[in-house]
Amino acid sequence: MLAAAVAVPLLAWRQARAAGPGSPPRRLRLAVVPQLTPVEMYRNWQPLAEALERAGLPCDLIIHPTIAVFEREFEQGQADLAFVNPYHMVMAHRAHGYRPLLRDQRPLQGMLLVQKHSALHSLEDLRGQRISFPAPNALGASLYPRAILSSKGIPFEAYYAGNHRNAVRQVLTGDSTAVGVVRATYDMEPAEVTEALRVLYTTPDIATHPLAVHPRVPRTTQQALMSTLQALARDPQTQPLMKAVQFSEPVAADYARDYAPLGRLGLERFVVKQ
């Protein structure tokens, strides 16, 4: 049974390093937005944390049960590193000066899904319907779709399921008419799930989830993290590890270019504090 927040010291830091004597580096607190269940998130991210440990960048992996609880990590400046959704990046930057270190080259796409044989075929058809979302502040899966529906004057009932897996299953069971997800997590669903669903709407492309870093982390450590992650993505043996954490093609991220424009979309009025 996982506790409310699972802090996993993935390996004990070796006191003596091959490079020579000296104090071991401070362990970094790595918090990850829980798009899937805690067990799945741990399974996907543990190998990366272990690889960083071997590279001399020890991390404590923090996995929270819901996205709402996870948001406190950057709102309170607890996390040294945080894998966040794009609008979380805006919130974290405003709260404590976090900056995006890396993002995947593939853009983020939000989607609204319905059952495969549903009679709904347009956004207008969602008028008055119950729509499941993983969390209020999940950008591609919730904030952006809700803003788009609001801009078109389409009322709906929102249900927040805690993560993407739960939200999708609300539609499969018929408890909700539609669900908001992002393509990256939708692609992780088994075939029997994706074959039972249909894409009703896809949002415009957005720069995808970055790995955000708190300004207290030394620049030398930030540079080492970038180099290590990019090397892992280039190595055929560790490419599956990077794909599991949505960094198949990591590139340097830039806040002003990639995420600051989101702050001008007026999404603040759709943010829900929990």
Using CA atoms, how far residue 53 sits from 12, 58, 135, 175, in Å, is 9, 4, 31, 43
What is the gyration radius of the CA atoms in the chain, in angstroms? 19
Give residue 273's pLDDT.
73
Longest pairwise C-alpha distance within the chain: 68
- Whether pTM exceeds 0.85: no
How far apart CA 74 and CA 129 sit, in angstroms, is: 33
Successive 10-residue mean pLDDT values, the chain, 274 residues: 35 34 75 92 96 96 92 95 94 96 94 97 97 92 93 95 93 97 91 96 93 97 97 96 95 96 82 73
Same domain, 39 and 124: no
Q: Rounded to an integer, what distance in angstroms lies between the CA atom of residue 39 and that of residue 100?
A: 26
Q: Domain end: 202, 222, 246, which one?
A: 202
My answer on whether 115 and 157 are in the same domain is yes
pLDDT at 23 (0 to 100): 53
Q: Which of these three, 145, 171, 202, is where a domain ends?
A: 202
In a domain, 85, yes or no: yes
Residue 1 belongs to a domain: no
Domain that holds residue 56: 6-107+207-270
